[in-house]
Amino acid sequence: MRVTMDLELKDIPGQLVLALRPISELGGNIVSVTHHREKKTPRGLIPVQIAFEIDEARVDTLVSRLKDDGVVIAQIGRDRLRERAVVILVGHIVHSDIRDTIDQIDGTGYAEVNDLAMAMPGIEQYSSARLIISAIGKKELSNAMELLRNIAHEKGLLLIERVKTEVS
């Protein structure tokens, strides 16, 4: 599971290590750390954003350990959508109601459109859209792609699949 945390640390040596050590000890893999040393929160603490991957069963233990160590957790986010696919739709995308297409994918409960970028050269010309679709697993991503194939067919759109895939 991908987890992001916004932390607030005291402005004294060793605080960043204090926040990172439990992640490592619990088997987490740190993806990024953004340390805003020059800024202060309203409480006079240093804001730090950390993104890491960790077994979902260990997140509550991590949170408890950080709090026990005096680390302030301002916000925590858990990303359950681990499988991603990038696809392109070509055709009269706006006229065929891109919002409906997105709503159908998001409505599955196991997949969603995380990003949409469109190019519309002219009112009567074809437009194109790049979509990033995320799902909770490979099977669910496959199901979402099948749904998108059906939607594209019904709306007369060309679907270019698997432009790029990623696992977060």
Q: pLDDT tens for residues 101-158?
A: 999 999 988 889 989 999 998 888 999 999 999 887 889 899 999 999 999 999 999 9
Range of the domain at 145: 83-167
Answer yes or no: is pLDDT of 164 > 70.
Answer: no
- Together in a domain, 122 and 159: yes
Domain with residue 116: its CATH number is: 3.30.70.260
19 and 60, same domain (yes or no):
yes
DSSP secondary structure string for all residues of the chain? -EEEEEEEE-SSTTHHHHHHHHHHHTT-EEEEEEE-TT---TTSPEEEEEEEE--GGGHHHHHHHHHHTT-EEEEEEEE---EEEEEEEEESTTTT-HHHHHHHHHTTSSEEEEEEEEE---TTS-EEEEEEEEESSHHHHHHHHHHHHHHHHHHT-EEEEEEEEEE-
What confidence tens digit (pLDDT) does each residue in 84-95 have?
Answer: 899 999 999 988
pTM: 0.55
Q: What is the pLDDT of residue 81?
A: 64
Domain stop point among 48, 79, 110: 79
pLDDT for residue 168 = 45
What is the overall mean pLDDT for the chain? 89
- Looking at the fold, whether 67 and 97 belong to one and the same domain comes out as no
The total number of structural domains in the chain stands at 2
